[in-house]
Structure 1
Amino acid sequence: MAGERVLHIIGSPRGLRSRSTRVSRRLLARLGVSAEELDLHATDLPALDAAAIEGRYALVEGREVDPIVCDRWRRVRDTIEHFLSFDTVLFSVPMWNFGVPWRLKQYIDIITQPDLMFNVDGNGVTGLAGGRRAILVCSGALDIRPEEPGEEMDFQTSYMKAWLGFIGITDVRIVQVRPTYGTPARVEEAMDIAFQEVDALAESLLRAPRV
């Protein structure tokens, strides 16, 4: 991963208490890379309100748009270009009510724009973020990882994989941190397993060349 630009998107507002963030930072340390961190709960994201959405249609149609709305869409484009400027994107994703935190969903809604993050033509949808790698560190109170009872309730990992595929990212590595609720011994065991998984992931990423 030498020379790659890495973005670490933090979906939890809990700071150092976030288990997904702790595991992600362990991975970065093992990789020996310096990542840019984007703490979504401390970031001023452009709002997609009614004025912004109507302004988008007006811009596409070539109609006059309020300067404030134009500035908001400039910020949207800047946010998309920032995301696309990285080779690898690491997501720290806690599970909230079987899905992703609202602030992460807001970020995804902002950057998933036609002609900027994906194209649609007669052949279907083409994601414009291809050639990048994504790493998902997904934590959750319940141990509902694949092949475990309750896996059908995991709309966190499945949603992130589906969205990444939609924008063209198919090289997706996943580390599960589960369960994060229970006895102290059970939770620490889950953390130890996650640390072992990211250590192994780091070794494989450092060993294998990008293709």
Structure 2
Amino acid sequence: MANILHVDSSPRSERSRSRRLAREFMDAWLNSHPDDAVTYRDLRLTPVPHITEEWIAADFTPPEALTGDMAELLAFSDELVNEFLAADHCVFSVPMHNFGMPSNFKAYIDQVVRVGHTFLLENGQFSGLAEGKKVLLITTRGVEYGPGSPFEGWDCLEPGLRYAFRFMGVKDFQFIQATGLDLGDDAERRGLNTAQSRLRELVSSW
């Protein structure tokens, strides 16, 4: 039995293709692993606040010195961090917005990357605290970003996600990308079919 954290970040609901892919994967996964426990978070319904100067001050205050107001500022972040650290597998669906991640998922990352919680800083060296975790990132893109495309090199989504989770100690990544989804019906169908095929394969090998 494993603990699964599933987070959807698209501001769309039923029209979201990243949600659809993640839902299909989770349905297939739970059909094969019925004893696994799932924690689900929808960032559309529970928006993540952006960090503030006061939040930063509280985050870098030793736990024993936190005031009640500081602890309250960090309470939601603590909840997100605990969910992340408790998970064996994490499934994140993240559409590309303007070449990068949606602002709500960037806010999520900012609330989860926490000194003393998901990484350590000792003698000027950083080390992650989330080793041993498997992370699946399901991303959707309106156009193509591969070699030879007009947008080659413009993909700021995968590098940003990869480095954020690697910084927290994650080494086991899977990226499933559905691309070209806004280039017409045929391209959308190809992009979704390719992603769905890879996700089906992952159910038995992840």
Q: TM-score, normalised by structure 1?
A: 0.86
CA pair 107-198 structure 1, distance change in 2 beyond 3 A: same
- Structure 1: which amino acid aligns with 2:75? R
Pairs within 5 Å for 1:92-111: 92-111=93-112
Q: Does 1 or 2 have the higher relative contact order (CA < 8 Å, sep 6+)?
A: 1
Pairs within 5 Å for 1:114-193: 114-122=115-123, 124-145=125-146, 147-149=147-149, 150-193=151-194
- Structure 2: which amino acid aligns with 1:196? S
Q: Which has the larger displacement, 46-55 or 156-165?
A: 46-55
Matched, 1:60 2:62: yes
Q: What is the CA-CA distance between 1:60 and the residue it aligns to?
A: 2.9
1:38-67, Cα deviation, whole Å (9 max, x unpaired): 11121153552222223334x3396673x3
Residue of structure 2 in register with 1:26 after alignment: 24
Q: TM-score, normalised by structure 2?
A: 0.88
SS at match of 2:44: helix
Q: What is the CA-CA distance between 1:138 and the residue it aligns to?
A: 0.9
Within the candidate set 14, 35, 53, 1:50 is matched to 53
**Aligned partners of 1:9 and 1:61: how far apart in 2?**
28
- 1:46–1:76 contact (8 Å) kept in structure 2: no
- Structure 2: which amino acid aligns with 1:22? R
1:121-177, Cα deviation, whole Å (9 max, x unpaired): 2372110111000001111101114x4533311110111111111101110011110
SS at match of 1:162: helix
SS at match of 2:135: strand
Aligned length: 200
**Aligned partners of 1:31 and 1:51: how far apart in 2?**
41
- 1:47–1:72 contact (8 Å) kept in structure 2: no
SS at match of 2:14: helix
Give RMSD over aligned pairs: 2.0
Q: What is the CA-CA distance between 1:68 and the residue it aligns to?
A: 2.5
**Aligned partners of 1:5 and 1:22: how far apart in 2?**
21
Q: What is the CA-CA distance between 1:78 and the residue it aligns to?
A: 2.6
Pairs within 5 Å for 1:67-78: 67-78=68-79
Q: Which has the larger displacement, 36-45 or 163-172?
A: 36-45
Gaps of 5+ in 1: 206-211
Percent identity of equivalent pairs = 23
Q: What is the CA-CA distance between 1:75 and the residue it aligns to?
A: 3.0
CA pair 56-160 structure 1, distance change in 2 beyond 3 A: closer
- Structure 2: which amino acid aligns with 1:10? D
CA pair 63-30 structure 1, distance change in 2 beyond 3 A: closer
Residue of structure 1 in register with 2:12 after alignment: 14
Q: Which has the larger displacement, 37-46 or 103-112?
A: 37-46
**Aligned partners of 2:79 and 2:57: how far apart in 1?**
19
